[in-house]
C-alpha cells in the first residue's frame, strides 16, 4: 500500500509539534528540587552553596532535628513537613525490625506523598529543598528511599561533607596510607545482610589485602560484626570509633583493636552515633 507524500509530511509535522510543545512546557518549568548535603553536624561544615540555596528556597522539607541545627538559615514558615515522618526514628526503627513489610508499606506511602508534593511545587515554579545529613550519596535516606525513581531532570544534588570525611580528620591519619590498596565504605546490613548470615567469603577475601574499612551504623550490632572478623583477622587488627564526627563539642575518638573493642565500647554511653574505621589508619 502506497502512502502519499502529504500524509508522510502531516505525520512528521504532527510529531515535530508534539515534541516542540513538550520541550517548551518543560523549559518553561522554572521550579526545581535541590537535595542538600548539610554535613555531619552544623553550618560550619556545610558547603556555602548549600546554605545559599537553602536561604533562597520557596519550600523546605526537613526533620525537626536538622531544622534546629540550621535555625539561622531555615525559615520555619517555609517548612512544609518532615519527609521522614513515620519511617525514621525510634518507633519506626522498632517497626522495621519487627514487621519489615509494614515498614516498607509506610515508606512507599511516604515516598508517594513526597514525590507528588515536590512535583506539584516544581510545576508551580517553586524551588524546593530537601535537607539531608552528611552527603546524600553516602547512605543518605533521600535518594535511597524517598526519591527512588524520581525523574533526574527535576532535581540537583549539592553534596556535603560525609561523616567519613569528618572522622578521617578526627583520626588525623590518611585513609589511603600504609600501603592501603583501597578504601571501602559500607554498613553491616549492606555487607552481611540483616541476619549476618552472608558475605563470609567476601570478608575472607578482603583479609588478604591492605584495606581501610569504614562501617556506617555499626555500633548497634558490633558484637556480631566482631564475631565475623575474628574468623579471618588477627586480634591486633586496629579498630577505631569516632563518636559524633564533626561535632566540635562532642567529637571523641576511641582507638582499640579487634580483641579489645567490645570491652572498650562498654566505657562509652553512646551506642549509635559513631563511625567504625578498621585498618592501619585506626592505630
**Which residue range(s) make up the domain with 255?**
164-282
What pLDDT score was predicted for residue 23?
43
Average pLDDT over residues 39-61: 94
- pLDDT grade for 197, boundaries at 50, 70 and 90: confident
Range of weakest confidence among 19-28, 34-43, 60-69, 176-185: 19-28
Q: Which of 161, 192, 215 is the last residue of a domain?
A: 161
pLDDT digits (tens, 9 = 90+) for 216-230: 999 989 999 999 999
**CA pair distance 127, 58, nearest whole angstrom:** 5
Do 54 and 99 sit in the same domain of this protein?
Answer: yes
Do 148 and 36 sit in the same domain of this protein?
Answer: yes
What pLDDT score was predicted for residue 193?
85
% of the chain with per-residue pLDDT over 70: 90
**With contact defined as beta carbons under 8 Å apart, do 130 and 36 qualify?**
yes
Do 180 and 192 sit in the same domain of this protein?
Answer: yes
What pLDDT score was predicted for residue 251?
94
What pLDDT score was predicted for residue 8?
52
**CA pair distance 75, 281, nearest whole angstrom:** 41
Q: Which residues, other chains included, contact 244 with Cβ-Cβ below 8 Å and sequence gap of 6+? A: 41, 250, 251, 252, 270, 273, 274
Helix (H, G, I), strand (E, B) or coil at 112: helix
Do 144 and 38 sit in the same domain of this protein?
Answer: yes
Do 34 and 156 sit in the same domain of this protein?
Answer: yes
Q: Does pTM top 0.85 for this prediction?
A: no
Amino acid at each position: 500500500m502506497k502512502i502519499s507524500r502529504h500524509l508522510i509530511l502531516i505525520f512528521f509535522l504532527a510529531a515535530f509539534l508534539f515534541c516542540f510543545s513538550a520541550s517548551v512546557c518543560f523549559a518553561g518549568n522554572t521550579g526545581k528540587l535541590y537535595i542538600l548535603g548539610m554535613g555531619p553536624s552544623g553550618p560550619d561544615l556545610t558547603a556555602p552553596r548549600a546554605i545559599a540555596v537553602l536561604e533562597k528556597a520557596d519550600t523546605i522539607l526537613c526533620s525537626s532535628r536538622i531544622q534546629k541545627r540550621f535555625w539561622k538559615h531555615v525559615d520555619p514558615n517555609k517548612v512544609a513537613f518532615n519527609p521522614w515522618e513515620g519511617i525514621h526514628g525510634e518507633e519506626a526503627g522498632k517497626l522495621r525490625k519487627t514487621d519489615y513489610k509494614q515498614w516498607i508499606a509506610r515508606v512507599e506511602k511516604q515516598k508517594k506523598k513526597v514525590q507528588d508534593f515536590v512535583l506539584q511545587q516544581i510545576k508551580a515554579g517553586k524551588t524546593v529543598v530537601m535537607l539531608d545529613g552528611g552527603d546524600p550519596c553516602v547512605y543518605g535516606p533521600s535518594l535511597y528511599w524517598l526519591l527512588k525513581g524520581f525523574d533526574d531532570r527535576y532535581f540537583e544534588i549539592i553534596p556535603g561533607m560525609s561523616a567519613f570525611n569528618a572522622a578521617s580528620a578526627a583520626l588525623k591519619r590518611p585513609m589511603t596510607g600504609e600501603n592501603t590498596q583501597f578504601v571501602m565504605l559500607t554498613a553491616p546490613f549492606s555487607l552481611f545482610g540483616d541476619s549476618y548470615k552472608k558475605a563470609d567469603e567476601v570478608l575472607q577475601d578482603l583479609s588478604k589485602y591492605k584495606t581501610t574499612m569504614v562501617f556506617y551504623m555499626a555500633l548497634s550490632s558490633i558484637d556480631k560484626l566482631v564475631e565475623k572478623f575474628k574468623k579471618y583477622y588477627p586480634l591486633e587488627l586496629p579498630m577505631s570509633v569516632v563518636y559524633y564526627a564533626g561535632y566540635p563539642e562532642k567529637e571523641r575518638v576511641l582507638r582499640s583493636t579487634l580483641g579489645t573493642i567490645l570491652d572498650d565500647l562498654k566505657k562509652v554511653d553512646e551506642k549509635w552515633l559513631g563511625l567504625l574505621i578498621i585498618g592501619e589508619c585506626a592505630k
